[in-house]
Copies of this chain bind each other. A is one copy, B any other.
Amino acid sequence: MEWGFTRFSKKHFLHLSLGLLVGCWNIQSVVAQSAKDSIFMAQIVAEALNNGHSYKQLGALCKEVGPRLSGSDNAEKGVQWAQQMLSSYGFDSVYTQPVMVPRWERGTEDRVTLLSQNLSELYKYLSENDYNCETYNEAHPKPNPLGIYGLECPALGGSVGGSVLGPLVVVNSERELDSLGGLGQLLGRVVLLNRPFEKDFINTFAAYSSCVTQRVNGAPLCAKYGATGVLVRSMSHRCDLHAHTGVTHYQAGIDSIPIAAVATGVADLLDWLYRQQWEPAQIEMQLGCQTLPDRMSANSIAETRGREFPNKIIAFGGHFDSWDEGEGAHDDGAGCMHTFEALRLLKTLGYQPRHTLRCVWWINEENGLKGALKYAELCANEGQQHIAALESDRGGFVPRGFGLDSSLLALIKPYQPWLAAYGFGELTLGGGGADVGPLKRQDPSVGLVGFIPDSQRYFDVHHAETDVFENVNRRELELGAAAVACMIYLLDQTLD
C-alpha cells in the first residue's frame, strides 16, 4: 500500500464516524442522542490512545510479576503489586477482599516421553508436513526431533501426579473412545484425546466450547475403561508446538489418573504414528504435580464513589489469576487492564459518576472461581446493590462490541452508531462471563455485560507459554479499554 497513488480519508475520526453512520445506519437514531455523549466518548477514545496506561501497566504486570497461578507465591506478589499500582492513581478507595483459594502445583521435573526408535520416519514426516503446520510462526521454526521424543506436555491443572507407562492409543472422538473402551482395548493404555477444533466456527469460543470436554472430563472418560494416563490435544486452531494447559476434573468413584496437554503439532505426529502402526509406540508419563492445602489470596478492588446513587454499584473487571504457562497477558491481564484503565480514563477526564464505579480483579477464575463467589457472598452480606456488572475475559484483541442482557441491550442500542464509529458497535444478546455469574444467580435483576474483542487469535495463545506481553498489540489493548470505558459511561448515564 503506497501513498501518493491512493486516496485516503484525511478526516478525523469524528468525521470518519459520520461517514460510517451515513453509510450504515439510520441517522435518526443518532440525531436523537445528545451531542454531550458523543463528545465525551470521543474524549475517552482520544485519551486512551494518546495517553493510555493500559499497555505500560500490562507490561509491568507481565514482566515484573509474571504468571499468577492461584495459590502460588507469584500470585501473592501480584496481589501486592496490584494494591500498590491501583493506590498510586488516587481513586476514592482501593482495597483487597481476602479469600481462600486452591493451590495446585506443577512438578518441577514433569516428563512425558515417546518411546520410539524410528527416527528417520519421524524426520520424513516432519519434512513433508512443513506447510501443514504453522511452525514458521515459532521461535524454533522446526520441531526438534529430540524435543519430540521428550514431549513438552505440561500437566493439566488439577491433575494428580504419578508415573505411568503404556502403549499409545489415539482417538478422535468420544464415540471412538467408547467403542475402543467397550472392546477392552484401553486397558493399561495411555490415551491421546485428539478431537481437533472445528475451524469453520466464526466465533472461536464456539469451537472451544465444542471440544473442551475432552480436557475437562478427559481423565474419568478414559479411566473408566482402564486407561492409565491421558494426553489431551491442545485447545487451539493453530498447528504448532506449544501445549495449552487448563483445568481438568476427576469424578468420584473413578480412578484419578495423570493427564497432560499436548501441542497440536505433536498430537498430529502421534496420530500419524499411531495410524501408521509401523511400531507400537509407548508413552511414559512422569508427573510430579500435587494439590496442597488452600491458601489465602485476595480480590483487588478500586472504586470511584457515585455522586447521585453511591449505594448502587456498577462493577467491571477481569480475573487476576492466570495459568502458570506464559504470563497471563491476554488471559486475563488484558481484562484487568481494560477495566482499571476504564476507571482511570473516567477519573482523568473529570467524570463524576452517578453510581459507584467499581473495578474488580477477581482471583481464581481459572481453577475454582473462589474470588467471584466470595465477592458475590460479601456483597449479599453487606446488602450492596449491583445495577450492572461487566466482565472482560476474552483477551486484549481489537474490540468488536458487547454482549448484553436484554434489558441493557434495549437501553444501549440507541448509542450503537457511536460505538460502531470506533469499531465496537456489535451489540448482541447475552452477556457476562464466569466472574459476574454468581452476582446474577444471587440477584437476577443485575444486568450483565460481556466485552467482546475479536476472537480469531485468542486460542493461538490461550493457556500457553505464548500468552505473553509481546503478543499483545498496544493499539488493540488501548481501544479495548476505551470501549469498556464508553460502555461504563453509557450504563452510568442511562441506568437509574
Contact = CB atoms under 8 A, between A and B. Distances in A.
A470 interface: yes
Interface in A150-170: none
Given A2-B366, A56-B131, A136-B470, 13 more contacts: A1-B332, A1-B395, A3-B212, A5-B369, A5-B437, A10-B210, A12-B206, A13-B201, A16-B202, A50-B199, A202-B423, A202-B479, A400-B423
16 contacts: A1-B433, A1-B458, A2-B365, A8-B206, A8-B208, A9-B203, A19-B430, A24-B426, A50-B200, A56-B131, A56-B132, A59-B136, A136-B470, A237-B475, A456-B479, A460-B473
Interface in A340-369: 365-367, 369
B134 A474 contact: yes
A2 B454 contact: no
B201 A12 contact: yes
Top 7 A-B pairs ranked by shortest CB distance? A5-B434, A8-B209, A46-B200, A3-B212, A13-B202, A23-B428, A56-B131
A195 to B, nearest CB: 14
B4 A206 contact: no
Contacts of A24: 416, 426-428
Contacts of A19: 428-430
Nearest to A205: B8
A473 B136 CA distance: 11
Interface in A394-436: 394-395, 398, 400, 409, 416, 420-423, 426-430, 432-434
Nearest to A13: B202
A393 interface: yes
A9 B455 CA distance: 13
B4 A216 contact: yes
A457 B458 CA distance: 16
A395 B400 CA distance: 19
A22 interface: yes
A386 interface: no
Interface residues of A, number: 90
A331 B238 CA distance: 23
Q: Specify which of A3, A237, A434 lies most central, judged by the most chain B CB atoms within 10 Å of its CB.
A: A3
Contact of A203 (B13, B437, B473): B13
Interface string A122-144: 00000000011010110000000
A320 interface: no
A77 interface: no
B429 A216 contact: no
Contacts of A30: none
Contact of A22 (B429, B470, B479): B429
Nearest to A392: B1
Interface in A467-496: 469-470, 473-476, 479
A63 interface: yes
B20 A428 contact: yes
A209 B10 contact: yes
B136 A3 contact: no
A215 B216 CA distance: 54
